[in-house]
Amino acid sequence: MTASTPVTWGGYSAVLLDLDGVLTPTAEVHMRAWSAMFNEFLADHDGPGDTSPYTDVDYFAHVDGKPRYDGVRDFLASRGIELPEGEPGRPFDRTVMGLGDRKNDAFNEVLQRDGVAPYAGSVALLDHLAELDVPMAVVSSSANAPAVLEAAGLAGRFVTVVDGRVAAARSLPGKPAPDTFLHAAEVCGASAATSVVVEDAVSGVRAGAAGDFGLVVGVDRGAGHDELTAAGAHVVVADLAELVP
């Protein structure tokens, strides 16, 4: 399937969409928050490991789309840096959880200060799916998903929101494991084979491929067309408006 081929949305029982980078440009806020946090940490780190500056390449390779603490672990591992796990709620600790919580605080500060507007093309697709009565769900690694949806004016459009808090409460492994998408499909009354996954992150596309979903749509907001295709996307677009008849 190519990006110019229209999707027969009415032929699917559910559409499962990532949030940051798919529905809203909050992926950019996440990127800035990760960069500020990691570069501050690297500048102060005096132990073993590679302390060269964190870049967007690191974001797409190790952090994008993953649960927050997993992103911290994977990035630190890529630099040969070991930290204790720590405890949640201590953002000033030099631990895996401390760094993750520090990043989350930075994200929330930007969200509250600047707000967020959804992508127009994504709203057009949501409107089209609503007209077709296709159930929709948000599947996000972020624990901030409900706040982002509310800020973007998108709350109430979805059968369920499977975010980081839901995943933790149900002990669902995060992306690239398919479990959060599989749970969302079940809540929507659909199977993987009759559901569509819409993702902008390589880890999310891999989750869709691992779950053997009926269609995996990659949205290229910077990860790269070839990378999303290699991860398992059946079709890659630059904007979801391309898939609205």
> Could you give the residue numbers annotated as active site?
18, 20
CA distances from 227 to 16, 157, 172, 191 (A): 21, 30, 25, 26
* Strand segments (E) across the chain: 14-17, 136-139, 160-162, 195-199, 215-219, 235-237
Beta bridge mates, 219: 237
Q: How many helices (H) and strands (E) does the chain have?
A: 10, 6
Per the listing, tokens 């401390």 go with 98
The amino acid present at 125, given as its one-letter code, is L
Provide the 3-class DSSP secondary structure of residue 51.
Answer: coil
Greatest Cα-to-Cα distance within the chain, rounded to the nearest angstrom:
57
Query: What residues contact residue 94 under an 8 Å CB cut-off, 6+ apart?
Result: 41, 83
Cβ atoms of residues 12 and 195 within 8 Å: yes
Query: What residues contact residue 221 under an 8 Å CB cut-off, 6+ apart?
Result: 21, 27, 200
Q: Which of 240, 4, 17 is nearest to 138 (CA)?
A: 17
CA distances from 189 to 89, 127, 154, 184, 227 (A): 36, 20, 21, 9, 31
